[in-house]
Amino acid sequence: MASPEATGSARLRVVVVGAGLGGLAAAIALRRAGHEVVVVEQADALGTVGAGIQMAPNASRLLDSWGVVERFAGVGVPAQAAVRRSWSDGEILGEVEMGDALLESVGASYWCLHRADLHSALVGAATDPDDPGPPAEIRLDAPATAVVSTGPDEAIVEAGGEEVRGDLVIGADGIRSVVRTDLFGPESPWFSGRVTNRHVLDAALIRADEELAELIARPAQNIWLGPNGHVITHPIKGGNGLYMGVTRAGLEPDEAFWSLPVDPVELKAQIAGWDDRIHRLIDLAPTITAYGLHDSEPMDAWSVGRVGLLGDACHAMLPFQAQGAAQAIEDGAGLAVALREHGDDVAAALRRYEEMRKPRVTRVQEASRANAALWHLQEGPEQARRDEELKSGSGDFKSYQWLWAPTGDLAGT
């Protein structure tokens, strides 16, 4: 059912399941390639959700080329440094300059922002009639309940009580993906034994405390490394806010959960002995929400016929390379490239997309697990060696160079 208006590579009707960050990135890349995009989303409104998020250069480079960065630049903050600290007293173990140095080395910035601000910018770039390509249509209150057909002539998904038809259906519906379950059965990402407690803080309250103010004196990512956990902070809201994530490891599978409110007194008891400034930041948080962190092994396949998967639906990963959303954004660009290469042979395009993307996301999954192990070391010789490598500049930060460098296979999206 390719559009008769298609020229060159066929103009396709693409149904994207899920209006999260990955689904919207796919919508932007596909509309810019000239395709008609319909996004079906279970929520009845596109509201303010989430907490802090980091867009590393490999993702921000794409977002900049799509005009997304200019939409969030007023509220996003380009990090000027990445700092690693000791868990108990906040001593700086290692530091690397970002800012201009990163622009010179990889040609893109490392942005820190609130997830809702990024989401809003993506919605704008997907739907603005003045942007390149046909504006995407977003249908709210339309939960996907089943994949009705995977081809050969069209793909159909049931969403919001009706059958939505396209030349291609992409499941960007997260780690509890309905599309994945219908294609491949009930296998799902597994609970990692780690939980992140998320806080959004008012920077004005932090500046009122002289010792805390030092932590936000410049726009930097700070990570405290400790036994069975770590703490991260970074600026949001144009520097008017601070995101803090307190991650704890060692939970059992029966303690897995998706989202729970947190008692600050209990959280502080769980991280007794950590830098006192972390405890004082917890006291400034109006609310704290804990999220169980999930991981997954590489899937054998990401598609069946004209239906494919994207982002967490096919490669959930730990957040310790700040790459979950970034890799979903890359997926959207990769999908557009594969469709350009294969015209209206949708099944071949999906196979090419998987071939292009799977080795990279698998490597990122492995690197994220490696960071989890590195950051959460118990006190001892291995931890001491890590800290010495950070102080000498030979550890941790160098692991990002391959990831942040420009990737030629995503050019032209």
Q: What pLDDT is recorded for position 253?
A: 82
Threshold 0.85, pTM exceeds = yes
d(CA 13, CA 349): 14
> Which residue blocks in 82-190 are alpha helix, DSSP H?
99-106, 115-127, 178-184
The Cα 100–Cα 197 span in angstroms is 32
> For residue 187, what pLDDT is reported?
80
Residue 2 vs residues 9, 29, 402: alpha-carbon distances, Å: 10, 18, 38
Long-range interactions of 338-342: CB distance < 8 A, separation 24+:
339/9, 339/12, 339/30, 339/33, 339/35, 339/168, 340/9, 340/33, 340/412, 342/9
pLDDT at residue number 2: 47
For residue 266, report the phi and psi dihedrals to the nearest 5 degrees.
-65, -40
Is residue 27 within 8 A of residue 37, CB to CB? The reply is yes
Separation between Cα atoms, residue 72 and residue 40, nearest integer Å: 24
All domains of the chain in start order, with CATH: 13-77+112-189+296-375+402-410 (3.50.50.60)
| 8 Å CB contact between 262 and 197 | yes
Mean pLDDT by 10 residues, the chain (413 residues): 47 97 98 98 85 97 98 97 96 94 94 97 98 98 97 96 98 96 91 95 97 96 97 98 96 82 96 98 96 93 98 96 97 97 93 97 96 95 94 77 86 66
Determine the pLDDT at residue 398.
72
Distance CA 76, CA 63 (A): 13
Cα–Cα nearest to 362, from 287, 295, 292, 263: 295
What's the pLDDT score for residue 143?
97
* Whole-angstrom distance, CA of residue 239 vs CA of residue 112: 9
